[in-house]
Amino acid sequence: MRRNVVVGVLLLLLGFSLGAFAESGWSLSVPLDATDQEADEGYFALGQDTMIVAKRGSPLHVWLRNHLGQRMKVTITPDTDSE
Interacting residues of 77 by C-beta distance below 8 A, sequence separation 6+: 24, 25, 26
pTM of the model: 0.62
Alpha carbon distances (Å) from 80 to 6, 32, 43, 73: 33, 28, 29, 21
Interval 22-46: pLDDT, tens? 456 788 899 999 999 999 999 999 9
pLDDT for residue 61 is more than 70: yes
Structural domain boundaries in the chain: 2-78
